[in-house]
Chains A and B, each alone.
Chain A
Amino acid sequence: MNKKLYTVIIFSENTVGLLNQITIIFTRRQLNIETLSVSPSAIKGIHKFTITTWAEKDMMNKVVKQIDKRVDILKAYYNTDEDLVHQEIALYKLSTDLFVKMKGVEDLIRKYNARVLEMNEDCIVLEKSGHYAETQALFEELSHSIGVLQFIRSGRVAITKSKVERLSDMLTEMEKKANG
């Protein structure tokens, strides 16, 4: 077993039920989805899925081909972390009472490059973006000091380092092919 964390990037038409079609293929191959992020892409009407999963390369190859085959999928491919700039965002809800009494707030904020999004009598919400390990480190530090009331982390978003992602060029190419 030689499993690595892969990031699968999928461009699709914005049709009902596409997420289901994609997750079915992961399920059949017994792959767990670690993170998932879906949003409109730079081009109107086209959605981008970013999915991370632990898998072997051979399996990843087969899965991505099966995803790419679906009628409403424009393009699917995968990368490993070396090829990507990737980011996750995390929110931390903390007790205001404990936070203001805590020592070294400035150091903590600087060290983690976190910022305060909300502050009221009851709670403070911090935000930090970064890799999983970075957002996790802040979570652990806060958990051990004053405790975290609520914590949420987004799925990964990623962009390839190698070349500009020319989705519009790809689309023009596809439309040319489709029109024979």
Chain B
Amino acid sequence: MDNTKEKITGSEALLRTLIAEGVDTIFGYPGGQVIPLYDCLYDYSDRLRHILVRHEQGATHAAQGYARVSGKVGVALVTSGPGATNTITGIADALMDSTPMVVITGQVPSALLGSDAFQEVDVIGIAQPITKWAFQIRKPEEIVWAISRAFYIASTGRPGPVVIDFAKDAQVGTVEYEYKKVNNIRSYQPIPVIDPESIAAAAELINNAAKPFALVGQGVILGGAEKELFAFLEKADIPAASTVLGLSAMPTDYRLNKGMLGMHGNVAPNRKTNECDVLIAIGMRFDDRVTGNLEYYARQAKIIHFDIDLSEIGKNVPTDIPVLGDAKETLPAVTALLRPSVHTEWIASFASDEQEEYEKVINKEIHPSADRPLQMGEVVDKIAKASGTDAVLVTDVGQNQMMGVRYFQYGRTRSVVTSGGLGTMGYGLPAAIGAKIGAPERTVCLFTGDGGLQMTIQELGTIMQEKLNLKIIVLNNHYLGMVRQWQELFFDKRYSATTMENPDFTAIGEAYRIQSRTVGNREELDEAIAEMFAGEDAYMLVADVETHGMVYPMVPAGAAITNIIMGEESHE
């Protein structure tokens, strides 16, 4: 036996491996089956910052927010049983939105597995459909391998969540510790090999396009390929629009940025999707909220699909030319074969649709007449202007989310933290905590609704304890607004279970020692915004907005992407 290697507990081996993997922050909540691990963490508190959340779901969303702004793997640590099941929503959300996250769950001693022991649940069985990988550590010898493998899988290729279930006896048992990084798995090829033929075919199609149009997804941000994207768009003079998760890859004021796609996206890019001759999708997955009815989606166009994930090719939309690989490599490879060109007329043709949307929707939303109640869009617009273009936008889900992403302004990448694919209400507040911790130098603005806020409102306690400078804006319309909007438009105004009798949010904020203010008119709003950004502490601004406010434009679910409701009649 080699006596030079020291023996340490499994708990310590886990913490050392986390540090070796570059972790410095953990979002967690202790419980019975992780007490040994937390005991060990006590000795490592100088190297591992532990953020005590108020509910395990909050730990996962905070880890997601942290990962989204920083590009690092978010880490959540919870106990077995209910601690583990409370993380499920966040894990599913992270898989849908390709967010790198490692969730460590405690587990009963391995001898008790399968016996319905106290706080035992089959985490691996539950987590398998919603993770990239899920593994149960039963022996201390497995720790270094499993944790390093978890980080490798979570962060490479198309990122995603990994669950590590950590049996208690493996925490307390001892092992000779030696860190060994996992950086390859024979059955897992994170980045497909680039096919030169597809690169050439894509370039040829773009070179011959009269009306090319690019769709920018989160893959560009995840791949750190923003500069490569600009070079590509510039050389061939291609207008582009983003999915919700692709927002901020291009600055709002960028010449070729034509806005946001999808159900509540901008009019011009949705219409132009069905007018372009070559549609170039980059790191996006043709979600139904982006495409509308596939029968009427871009049928006239040749479609090029850049993606790192082969299973996305042809999943929803038939692709003419798939370009597999990391966008950071495939975009320059295609750009090199592009002829410089200009599409002045094509790009100018977006302007009339933009003008139409401005007149019918945007202007009324951000510059409402004086007699109308506060509009959601004007609140977002004013805060966007006051927060500066370096700020991070975090949203909850629903009308607050769509108003947030539509009217916020982006100056740099990794500025949007929102639940795109799963649409998780309650995501916003804990995700904002993670975002602030992941980007402490940046202003973080959370837009949430009265519904979503109350799903995870206990995380105000985390903000209080960690003294986080978060700017929380509650768009309070006393309704579950997005469902109410559908009920108004498609269910004959039968407002089934969407009215909300709300508590005094200001009083709740103050109870958590967060400066809070409710505003109901424009003068108060301006004052409160100035007050909010003047201070260096958390602030909760509750805006009493129009109760029947609507998010327009809107493409009804299942309709063609060009079937756009502007809501012209309703607000006049």
Interface residues of A (CB under 8 A from B): 12-13, 16-17, 20-21, 24, 28, 61-62, 65-66, 68-69, 71-74, 171, 174-175, 177-180
Identify which of A17, A21, A71, A72 gathers the most chain B CB atoms within 10 Å of its CB. A71
Task: Please classify the interface of chain A as helix (H, G, I), strand (E, B), loop, or mixed, using the class held by over half of its residues.
Answer: helix
Contact of A175 (CB < 8 Å), options: B125, B186, B315? B186
Number of A-B contacts (CB under 8 A): 54
Chain B residues 96-140 with CB under 8 Å of chain A are 124-125, 128-129, 132-134, 136
B187 part of interface (Cβ distance < 8 Å):
yes
**CB-CB nearest in chain B for A65:** B311
Check A12–B187 contact: CB distance below 8 A. yes
Rounded to whole Å, the gap between the CB of B157 and the closest CB of chain A is: 9
Check A177–B315 contact: CB distance below 8 A. no
Check A174–B186 contact: CB distance below 8 A. yes
Give Cα A179 to B132, complex, Å: 21
0/1 interface trace, chain B 130-173, chain A, CB 8 Å (1 if under): 00111010000000000000000100000000000000000000
Check B186–A17 contact: CB distance below 8 A. no
Give Cα A71 to B314, complex, Å: 21
Chain B residues with CB under 8 A of A171: 186
Give Cα A66 to B311, complex, Å: 6
Give Cα A180 to B313, complex, Å: 24
B185 part of interface (Cβ distance < 8 Å):
yes
Contact of B310 (CB < 8 Å), options: A13, A21, A65, A180? A65
B309 part of interface (Cβ distance < 8 Å):
yes
Check A178–B185 contact: CB distance below 8 A. yes
A-B contact pairs, 15 of them (CB 8 A): A16-B124, A20-B128, A21-B128, A24-B128, A24-B129, A28-B129, A62-B314, A65-B313, A69-B310, A69-B311, A72-B188, A74-B186, A174-B187, A177-B189, A178-B189
Chain B residues with CB under 8 A of A61: 314
Identify which of B125, B185, B186 gathers the most chain A CB atoms within 10 Å of its CB. B186
Chain B residues with CB under 8 A of A180: 184
Chain B residues with CB under 8 A of A72: 133, 187-188
Give Cα A65 to B193, complex, Å: 16
Chain B residues with CB under 8 A of A178: 184-186, 188-189
Contact of B315 (CB < 8 Å), options: A12, A62, A68, A179? A62
Chain A residues with CB under 8 A of B188: 71-72, 178
Rounded to whole Å, the gap between the CB of B94 and the closest CB of chain A is: 16
- The answer to whether A71 and B185 touch (CB under 8 A), given A17-B125, A17-B128, A21-B128, is yes
Chain A residues with CB under 8 A of B153: 71
Give Cα A42 to B310, complex, Å: 28
Q: Which 5 residue pairs spanning A and B have beta carbons closest together?
A: A178-B184, A65-B311, A74-B187, A71-B188, A178-B186
Chain B residues 252-306 with CB under 8 Å of chain A are none
Rounded to whole Å, the gap between the CB of B320 and the closest CB of chain A is: 16
Rounded to whole Å, the gap between the CB of B473 and the closest CB of chain A is: 37
Q: What is the total number of residues of chain B having a CB less than 8 Å from a CB of chain A?
A: 22
Check B187–A71 contact: CB distance below 8 A. yes
Give Cα A74 to B193, complex, Å: 16
Check B187–A73 contact: CB distance below 8 A. yes
0/1 interface trace, chain B 202-218, chain A, CB 8 Å (1 if under): 00000000000000000
Give Cα A131 to B132, complex, Å: 37
Check B125–A20 contact: CB distance below 8 A. yes
Give Cα A171 to B186, complex, Å: 8
Give Cα A180 to B190, complex, Å: 11
Chain A residues with CB under 8 A of B133: 71-72
Interface residues of B (CB under 8 A from A): 124-125, 128-129, 132-134, 136, 153, 184-189, 193, 309-311, 313-315
Rounded to whole Å, the gap between the CB of A73 and the closest CB of chain B is: 6
Check A69–B193 contact: CB distance below 8 A. no
Rounded to whole Å, the gap between the CB of A78 and the closest CB of chain B is: 14
Give Cα A16 to B134, complex, Å: 10
Give Cα A53 to B311, complex, Å: 19
Check A71–B184 contact: CB distance below 8 A. no
Chain B residues with CB under 8 A of A69: 309-311
**CB-CB nearest in chain A for B162:** A71
**CB-CB nearest in chain B for A21:** B128
Rounded to whole Å, the gap between the CB of A71 and the closest CB of chain B is: 5
Chain B residues with CB under 8 A of A62: 311, 314-315
Chain A residues with CB under 8 A of B193: 177
Contact of A71 (CB < 8 Å), options: B132, B309, B310, B311? B132
**CB-CB nearest in chain B for A73:** B187
Rounded to whole Å, the gap between the CB of A74 and the closest CB of chain B is: 5
Chain A residues with CB under 8 A of B313: 65
Check A17–B310 contact: CB distance below 8 A. no
Rounded to whole Å, the gap between the CB of A68 and the closest CB of chain B is: 8
Rounded to whole Å, the gap between the CB of A30 and the closest CB of chain B is: 15
**CB-CB nearest in chain A for B152:** A71
Rounded to whole Å, the gap between the CB of A111 and the closest CB of chain B is: 46
Rounded to whole Å, the gap between the CB of B563 and the closest CB of chain A is: 26
- The answer to whether A17 and B311 touch (CB under 8 A), given A178-B185, A178-B186, is no
Give Cα A75 to B555, complex, Å: 40
**CB-CB nearest in chain B for A69:** B311
**CB-CB nearest in chain B for A75:** B187
Rounded to whole Å, the gap between the CB of B476 and the closest CB of chain A is: 38
Give Cα A24 to B95, complex, Å: 15
Give Cα A48 to B472, complex, Å: 53
Rounded to whole Å, the gap between the CB of B213 and the closest CB of chain A is: 26
Give Cα A28 to B92, complex, Å: 15
Chain A residues with CB under 8 A of B186: 74, 171, 174-175, 178
Chain B residues with CB under 8 A of A66: 311
**CB-CB nearest in chain A for B132:** A71
Chain B residues with CB under 8 A of A65: 310-311, 313, 315
Chain B residues with CB under 8 A of A28: 129
Chain B residues with CB under 8 A of A16: 124, 136
Give Cα A21 to B185, complex, Å: 18
Chain A residues with CB under 8 A of B315: 62, 65
Chain B residues with CB under 8 A of A175: 186
Contact of A17 (CB < 8 Å), options: B132, B134, B185? B134
Give Cα A20 to B315, complex, Å: 22
Chain A residues with CB under 8 A of B124: 16-17
**CB-CB nearest in chain A for B188:** A71
**CB-CB nearest in chain A for B129:** A24
Rounded to whole Å, the gap between the CB of B136 and the closest CB of chain A is: 8
Rounded to whole Å, the gap between the CB of A120 and the closest CB of chain B is: 38
**CB-CB nearest in chain A for B133:** A71
Chain A residues with CB under 8 A of B309: 69
**CB-CB nearest in chain A for B312:** A65
Give Cα A81 to B61, complex, Å: 47
Rounded to whole Å, the gap between the CB of A43 and the closest CB of chain B is: 12
**CB-CB nearest in chain B for A15:** B135
